[in-house]
C-alpha cells in the first residue's frame, strides 16, 4: 500500500468527511479511490449514534428546545456517522442556506431542516431549492409568513436569488418582486400563533411546538408574473424551475461546492474544474451527487494544488479531532461543553452569524480562535486512553523493534495523524522536541505510562502546528 495512495485517500476523507484514521484509510485504499468516492456518494441509511440512546440520557436532546443541546445532538451525529459525506453536505447546506436560532427560537425545526439536508443534500438542486422554500425554519427566518398576496414581503425572494442560487448581478429588482409574488401563501402551520411564540421566545405552557409547512391558496397571488424574461401565472415551483436552468445558477452552486470541498481560492486550474462541474450539472439534471463525482474524480482535486488548500472550519476541526481520537462515542454527561468549542472557535452549529452564513478560509483564524483550536485538538489527541490515540500508539509500537528514534517518532506521528504535509521548519521543531527525551521505547509500555504519554504530548504538539489547521 503506497504512501501516495494513503495520502490521496486522507485528502479525500478530510474533504468529503471529517478525516479518517489509518485503519479506515487502509480499507479505502484497498477498495480503490473511485470506489470510495462512490461509497461516499451512495451511502444511505447511515449508522450513527441511535436516537433512542441519545434521548434516553439527554433530556435536552429529546426535547431539543435549546441551542446548546441541539448543537450537541448534531455533533453526536457527525462524530458517529458511518456516512460522513451526508453530514458534510448537511453542513455545506447549513452554511449556504444559513438559518439561525437567534431569530427563530426553534431548534427542533432547525434540526428538521438539517434532516432535510441529509435526505436531499445529494439530490437535484431544483428539488433542494423547493425543499428549502418549504422549510418552515427558513420561511420564518426570512419572513415569508408575512409575504401575502395583497402585500408582498421581498425578503425570501431576494435571498433566494442573491444568496441561494444565482448571485447578485444576474437579475433585476423587478425579478425579485415577481419572485416574491410567486411565493405568497407559502407559510407554516398556525403561522400567527407560531410567530407570536417565536417573537416572544415563548416556551409556555408546555415547551416548544415544532413547525411544518402550510400552503394558503387564498393568500397566494395567482396573477401573471414575468420572471427572468419568462411570463406566466407562476407559483414557487415554476420560479425554481426557471432559476435552476440558468447558467448563473450552475456557476454559483458549482463554485460554492468547489470552495467548500476543494480549495478556498479559485485559480486557473480550479476554474477549469468548475467548468467541468457545470457541464455535469446540466447533463445530470442539476444533480449535486453527479457534480461532486466530477469534482472528486477530477485531476485538480487529486493534485497537490488542492491538498491543504483549505483552512479547517471549526466544525471540521472539532469533529475531526474527536473522530481521530475515537472519543465521545456514547452519550455522556456534559457533552454540550464539548460541542460548545465549535462556537468558541467561531462556528456555532445552528447559529450562523447572518443569512450569508460564515466567512470561511483564513477568516476562521484569529488569535483567539487559534488558541481554542489548538487547545481543543491538543486535549483530544493527547488523551492516551482514547481508542483512536491508543491505535496510533499501537502502530508506533509495531514500528521496527518498538524503539523509535526522535525522527522516526515525530515522522510516525505526523504520518498517522494524516499524513500531514509539514514544512521542514515544523519537522525540525517536532524532532527536536522528541529528542529531548531520546529514543521512544514502547516495548514495555503500560496503558498511560510515560512512554505512551510522550506520544500523547507529541500529538498535542502537532495539533498546534500551522499545518494541522489546514484540510
Partner 1 sequence: MTTETQSPSITLDYVKTIGIVNNGLNGRGFANPYDLAVSRDGRIFVLNRCDPARASAIRVGVLSLDEDYLYEFGDGAGNGDTQFRWPVCLAFDSQDNLYITDEVHHRVTVFDAEGNFLRKWGSQGSGDGEFNGPAGIAVGPDDSVYVVEQHNARVQKFTSEGVFLGKWGSHGDGAGQFNLPWGAAADSSGNVYVADWRNDRIQKFSADGQFLACFGSSGSGEGQFQRPTSVAVDAEGFIYVADWGNERVQVLDADGGFRVLLRGEATESKWAMEYFAANPEEKAERDRSDLKPKLPPHLNTPYHISSQTEPYFWGPVAVSLDREGRLYVVETNRHRVQVYQKR
Q: How far is the CB of 216 from partner 1 (least distance, A)?
A: 13
Written as one string, the DSSP assignment of 118-164 is: HHHTTSBHHHHHHHHHT-HHHHHHTTGGG-BTTB---HHHHHHHHTT
Cβ proximity to partner 1: between 119 and 466 the closer is 119
Peptide bond into 419 cis (omega under 30): yes
Tell me which DSSP letter residue 353 carries: S
Cβ proximity to partner 1: between 54 and 355 the closer is 54
Q: How far is the CB of 118 from partner 1 (least distance, A)?
A: 11
Cβ proximity to partner 1: between 115 and 394 the closer is 115
Tell me which DSSP letter residue 209 carries: -
CA distance linking residue 284 with residue 253, whole number of Å = 14
Cβ proximity to partner 1: between 206 and 446 the closer is 206
Spatial contact of 144 and 132, defined as CB atoms under 8 Å apart: no
Given the rule CB under 8 A, which residues bind partner 1? 51-52, 55-60, 62-66, 68-69, 108, 112, 116, 119, 189-190, 192-193, 196-197, 200, 202-207, 209-214, 333-334, 336
Spatial contact of 118 and 159, defined as CB atoms under 8 Å apart: no
Cβ proximity to partner 1: between 58 and 460 the closer is 58
CA distance linking residue 109 with residue 93, whole number of Å = 15
Q: Comparing C-alpha atoms, which of 83, 93, 84 is closest to residue 121?
A: 93
Q: How many residues does the chain have?
A: 471
Cβ proximity to partner 1: between 72 and 96 the closer is 72
Cβ proximity to partner 1: between 337 and 359 the closer is 337
CB-based burial label for 117 (10 Å; 0-12, 13-18, 19+): buried
CB-based burial label for 147 (10 Å; 0-12, 13-18, 19+): buried
CA distance linking residue 422 with residue 404, whole number of Å = 19
CA distance linking residue 166 with residue 246, whole number of Å = 8
Q: How far is the CB of 52 from partner 1 (least distance, A)?
A: 5
Cβ proximity to partner 1: between 64 and 413 the closer is 64
Q: Comparing C-alpha atoms, which of 295, 322, 304 is closest to residue 421?
A: 304
Cβ proximity to partner 1: between 73 and 92 the closer is 73
Q: Which long-range contacts (CB under 8 A, 24 or more apart) does 90-94 make?
A: 90/114, 90/117, 90/118, 90/121, 91/315, 92/121, 92/256, 92/257, 92/260, 92/261, 93/117, 93/121, 93/128, 93/132, 94/349, 94/350, 94/352, 94/357
Amino acid at each position: 500500500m503506497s504512501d501516495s495512495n494513503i495520502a490521496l485517500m486522507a485528502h479525500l476523507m478530510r474533504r468529503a468527511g471529517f478525516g479518517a484514521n489509518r485503519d479506515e484509510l487502509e480499507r479505502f485504499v484497498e477498495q480503490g479511490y473511485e470506489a470510495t468516492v462512490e461509497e461516499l456518494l451512495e451511502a444511505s441509511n447511515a449508522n450513527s449514534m441511535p436516537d433512542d440512546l441519545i434521548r434516553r440520557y439527554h433530556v435536552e436532546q429529546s426535547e431539543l428546545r435549546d441551542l446548546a443541546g441541539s448543537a450537541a445532538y448534531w455533533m453526536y451525529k457527525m462524530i458517529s456517522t458511518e456516512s460522513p459525506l451526508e453530514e458534510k453536505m448537511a453542513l455545506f447546506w447549513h452554511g449556504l442556506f444559513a438559518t439561525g436560532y437567534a431569530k427563530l427560537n426553534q431548534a427542533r425545526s432547525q434540526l428538521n431542516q438539517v434532516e432535510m439536508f441529509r435526505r436531499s443534500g445529494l439530490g437535484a438542486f431544483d428539488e433542494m431549492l423547493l425543499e428549502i422554500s418549504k422549510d418552515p425554519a427558513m420561511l420564518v427566518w426570512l419572513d415569508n409568513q408575512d409575504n401575502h398576496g395583497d402585500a408582498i414581503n421581498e425578503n425570501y425572494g431576494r435571498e433566494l436569488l442573491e444568496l441561494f442560487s444565482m448571485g447578485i448581478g444576474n437579475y433585476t429588482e423587478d425579478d425579485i418582486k415577481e419572485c416574491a409574488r410567486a411565493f405568497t401563501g407559502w407559510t407554516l402551520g398556525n403561522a400567527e400563533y407560531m410567530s407570536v411564540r417565536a417573537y416572544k421566545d415563548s416556551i409556555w405552557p408546555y415547551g416548544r411546538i415544532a413547525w411544518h409547512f402550510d400552503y394558503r391558496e387564498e393568500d397566494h397571488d395567482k396573477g401573471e408574473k414575468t420572471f427572468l424574461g419568462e411570463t406566466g401565472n407562476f407559483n414557487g415551483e415554476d420560479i425554481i424551475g426557471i432559476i435552476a436552468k440558468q447558467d448563473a445558477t450552475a456557476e454559483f452552486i458549482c463554485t460554492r461546492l468547489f470552495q467548500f470541498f476543494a480549495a478556498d481560492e479559485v485559480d486557473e486550474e480550479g476554474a477549469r474544474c468548475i467548468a467541468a462541474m457545470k457541464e455535469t450539472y446540466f447533463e445530470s439534471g442539476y444533480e449535486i451527487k453527479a457534480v461532486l463525482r466530477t469534482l472528486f474524480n477530477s485531476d485538480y482535486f487529486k493534485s497537490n494544488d488542492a491538498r491543504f488548500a483549505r483552512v479547517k472550519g471549526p466544525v471540521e476541526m472539532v469533529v475531526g479531532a474527536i473522530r481521530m481520537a475515537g472519543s465521545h462515542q456514547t452519550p455522556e454527561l456534559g457533552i454540550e461543553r464539548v460541542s460548545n468549542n465549535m462556537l468558541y472557535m467561531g462556528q456555532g452549529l445552528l447559529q450562523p452569524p447572518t443569512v450569508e452564513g460564515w466567512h470561511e478560509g483564513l477568516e476562521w483564524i484569529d488569535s483567539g480562535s487559534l488558541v481554542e483550536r489548538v487547545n481543543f485538538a491538543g486535549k483530544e489527541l493527547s488523551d492516551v486512553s482514547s481508542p483512536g490515540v491508543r491505535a496510533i500508539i499501537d502502530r508506533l509500537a509495531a514500528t521496527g523493534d518498538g524503539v523509535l528514534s526522535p525522527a522516526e517518532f515525530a515522522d510516525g506521528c505526523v504520518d498517522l495523524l494524516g499524513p500531514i504535509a509539514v514544512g521542514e521548519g515544523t519537522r525540525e521543531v517536532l524532532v527536536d522536541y522528541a529528542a529531548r527525551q531520546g529514543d521512544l521505547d514502547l516495548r514495555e509500555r503500560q496503558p498511560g505510562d510515560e512512554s505512551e504519554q510522550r506520544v500523547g504530548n507529541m500529538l498535542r504538539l502537532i495539533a498546534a502546528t500551522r499545518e494541522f489547521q489546514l484540510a
